[in-house]
A and B are shown apart, each in its own frame.
Chain A
């Protein structure tokens, strides 16, 4: 326990980098996945192409992707940008399909009613279909953010500081305390981000509570 109190500053700064390295790609991934998912939803061929590419992207282990990306992007191996880009790719791969399936899950009656009320094109997408698809997208986002918290730790093997650095330190010193501190903080981060998405989902879909209570 002495170890924790004497390293508290470092633990806090590692947690902050970890949170940043997780949140940035999750948000970027969502921003990219929304238009791509909409396109996949609209065109059958687009759906097959996107689901196929996404599946293939997943098969590439994260450590390998962290090293291959600098070759493609021309960045330095220790640049955290590589981690952000890699996790954004994974997030997009996961969410594109979720967004497409979410938009397809909007009941035809709802779409028809919106059309009858005079919503058209973009208006209907942004004001009706997207809000109705929010719960499905939120479910996918939860999986994405929890996996991202865990994948970020791999960057410790390259020497990019975040909570995974506590794992490698625990191994080098053969000490349980840093290792377990790191694991616990990862789980805490995952639970916090997961809860944040559940809360946002509730906030964005106020009509769902009403249907449950009535």
Chain B
């Protein structure tokens, strides 16, 4: 059975274990984790970026997390959390917690770096025009921070997507099921099919974020960014694993 046969087999496109349903699960877990990570990372990032407090702590935490292998972390947190949870949630909840933990640092660093790197001239001009501190934050610093925030959210999304794949190892639904079930039954076509779906999903999301950035970032900011895009672009340079 080759990969093309696997993709064209109608049996793989229907039912609770079919391709559409697994893509749905994968996106659902990822969306829940991403929203939770944003709910934690954005306010905390704004606070750190605005006050400058706790910056070294966060940078150290983010670096340490990069050295920690996410598969090991996933299993470790699973072993810690799973005895506490009972019932149906036993596989889902620990996994979501791990996904959120891995996704918070990029959002957090993107947000505070974005606020701190907001053009000082623009902030000064706003102050000169009589903006209050909260107006400066909401109308100047946050919009200026958007490109870095989006690239942080993008990095988090890709991290979640790839970790959600390996979370199938713990028993979670999603595209990782094809890879690991295929491995267990020595069905290489199923494994490769799952891998291709994950890769395509990641690339589609990557392009969506590029498109989103073009839509919601202020055109004035884009003009500045295109003139010397390197400092903005090099800040968040990390493999998604």
A interface residues (Cβ-Cβ under 8 A, vs B): 55-56, 58-68, 71, 77, 90, 93-94, 97, 101, 143, 146-147, 149-151, 153-154, 156-159, 163-164, 167-168, 170-171, 174, 176, 179-180, 182-183, 186-187, 190-191
Q: Which of A64, A77, A157, A190 contacts B196 (CB 8 A)?
A: A64
Cβ-defined contact, A61 with B202, below 8 A: yes
**A147-B79 in contact given A68-B192, A157-B169, A171-B169 (Cβ < 8 Å):** no
Complex Cα–Cα for A149 and B69 (A): 8
Q: How far is the CA of A66 from the CA of B162 in the complex (A)?
A: 13
Contact A167 B195 (CB under 8 A): no
Q: Are A167 and B71 interface neighbours, CB within 8 A?
A: yes
Residues from chain A with Cβ under 8 Å of B241 in the complex:
61-62, 147, 150-151, 154
B72: chain A residues at CB < 8 Å are: 153, 164, 167, 179, 182-183, 186
- Nearest B residue to A176, CB-CB: B79
**Contact of B188 with A63 in the complex, beta carbons under 8 Å:** no
- A153 in contact with B69 given A63-B166, A68-B196 (CB within 8 Å): yes
Report B's interface with A, CB cutoff 8 A: 3, 66-73, 75-76, 78-79, 158, 161-162, 165-166, 169-170, 176, 179-180, 183, 188, 191-192, 194-196, 198-199, 202-203, 205-206, 230, 234, 237-241
Out of B3, B71, B238, which one reaches A157, CB within 8 Å?
A: B71
Chain B residue numbers with a CB within 8 Å of A191 are 67
Contact (Cβ within 8 A) A157 B195 = no
Q: Across the interface, do A150 and B79 meet the contact criterion of CB distance under 8 Å?
A: no
**B67 contacts A67, C-beta separation under 8 Å:** no
What are the nearest 6 A-B pairs in CB distance?
A: A61-B162, A67-B195, A64-B195, A153-B69, A150-B69, A183-B72
Contact B183 A157 (CB under 8 A): yes
List the A side residues contacting B166 at CB < 8 Å.
63, 154, 157
How far is A59 from B166 in the complex, measured between Cα atoms in Å? 15
Residues of B within 8 A of A97 (CB): 237
* Min CB gap B32→A, angstroms: 19
Residue from the list B78, B194, B230, B234 in contact with A171, Cβ < 8 A: B78
Residues in chain B near residue A58, CB distance under 8 A: 158, 239-240
A-B contact pairs, 21 of them (CB 8 A): A59-B202, A61-B198, A63-B166, A64-B162, A64-B165, A64-B179, A64-B196, A67-B192, A67-B195, A71-B192, A77-B191, A143-B237, A149-B69, A157-B169, A157-B180, A164-B71, A167-B69, A168-B169, A183-B72, A186-B72, A187-B67
* Listed residue (B180, B202, B240) with the most chain A CB atoms within 10 angstroms of its CB: B240
Taking CB as reference atom, which chain A residue is nearest B74? A167
Min Cβ gap B164→A in Å is 9
What are the residues of chain B within 8 A of A90 when measuring CB–CB?
Answer: 239
A99 to B73, CA, bound (A): 32
A66 to B71, CA, bound (A): 15
B156–chain A nearest beta-carbon distance, Å = 13
Complex CA distance for A187 and B38, rounded to whole angstroms? 28
Partner of A56, one of B170, B206, B237, B239: B206
A60, A77, A156 interface centre (most CB from chain B within 10 Å): A60
With A64-B165, A182-B72 already in contact, the answer to whether A190 and B67 are too (CB < 8 A) is yes
> Closest chain B residue to A51 by CB distance?
B233
Chain B residues near A64 (CB-CB < 8 A): 162, 165, 179, 194-196, 198-199, 202
Residues of A within 8 A of B240 (CB): 58-59, 61
- Given A171-B78, A179-B76, A187-B68, are A56 and B203 neighbors across the interface (CB < 8 Å)? yes
Q: In the complex the two chains form, is A59's CB within 8 Å of B230's CB?
A: no
Instruction: Knowing A61-B161, A71-B192, say if A150 contacts B169 (CB, 8 Å).
Output: no
Q: How far is the CA of A12 from the CA of B94 in the complex (A)?
A: 31
* Docked-complex contact A146 and B67, CB < 8 angstroms: yes
User: Which residues on the B side are within 8 Å of A63 (C-beta)?
Assistant: 162, 165-166, 176, 179, 195, 198
Q: Are B198 and A59 in contact (CB under 8 A)?
A: no
Extra contacts, 6 of them, besides A62-B241, A67-B179, A182-B72 (Cβ < 8 A), are A58-B239, A61-B165, A147-B238, A150-B66, A164-B69, A190-B67
